[in-house]
Amino acid sequence: MLESAHLLSAWLLGLSLGLTACTATCLPFMGTWVLARERGAVLADTGLFLVGRVSAYTLLGLIAALSSARLIAVLQNGVGHLAIGAAAIGAGSWLLLAEQRPRACATSHSAGAPPFALGFALSLTPCAPLASLLAFAAQSDSGWFGALQGLAFGLGAAVTPLLLLLPLLSALGARLRAEQRWLGLWLRRGVALSLFVLGMYRFWLGTI
């Protein structure tokens, strides 16, 4: 019963993050990403993004249980910002390189790594709910239970307004491309540039 209570507490912590700060932190990255993607890809991209977040929190719970409180100090040193910067620049590069692929590949719905990497990286920045999760996991002295706490936290964080906002933004991008076909190329390039700028900003935050 005590373990179940701890897992429920971890889920509630994740839920508090998913319904609040998660949207403000993640929307600039995933919101711009889905604007440049085909409308049919938004469900897969959102799913990969959330799987990335859940995977990251599960791994963080495991590491926290095995390394005690040292993980919090590591995350506070800017590692998360550097990871987000790399993921954002990688996503922007994927969009630009898609222009060089054959048309059949460039219009494919499969993006794979970019949304997963964005979800994983955006989970590495410290915040109050995450710090509480890592403190709880560090006290468990059990790697598997720390991972379970991280998984419960991630499943809570996956309940987010992004599930509604991302399809709306994807529909907006699709409508713009349908009304003005020439916008498709420039929208993709504009989104790539935005991701580059966001990535460089996060790199800068990680080095100060």
The answer to whether 12 and 80 are in contact (CB under 8 A) is: no
Torsion angle of C-alpha atoms 154, 155, 161, 163, degrees rounded to 10: 110
Chain centroid, CA 1 distance in Å: 32
Per-domain residue ranges of the chain: 2-15+27-207
**pLDDT tens for each residue of 50-106:** 999 999 999 999 998 888 656 777 777 788 889 999 999 999 999 888 766 554 444
**pLDDT tens for each residue of 132-159:** 888 888 887 778 899 999 999 999 999 9
Residue with more model confidence, 37 or 118: 118
The Cα–Cα gap between 148 and 46 comes to 23
* Among 90, 59, 45, residue whose Cα is nearest residue 196: 90
Average pLDDT, the chain: 85
* Among 64, 72, 73, 70, residue whose Cα is nearest residue 141: 64
The answer to whether 156 and 18 are in contact (CB under 8 A) is: yes
Share of the chain above pLDDT 90, in %: 47
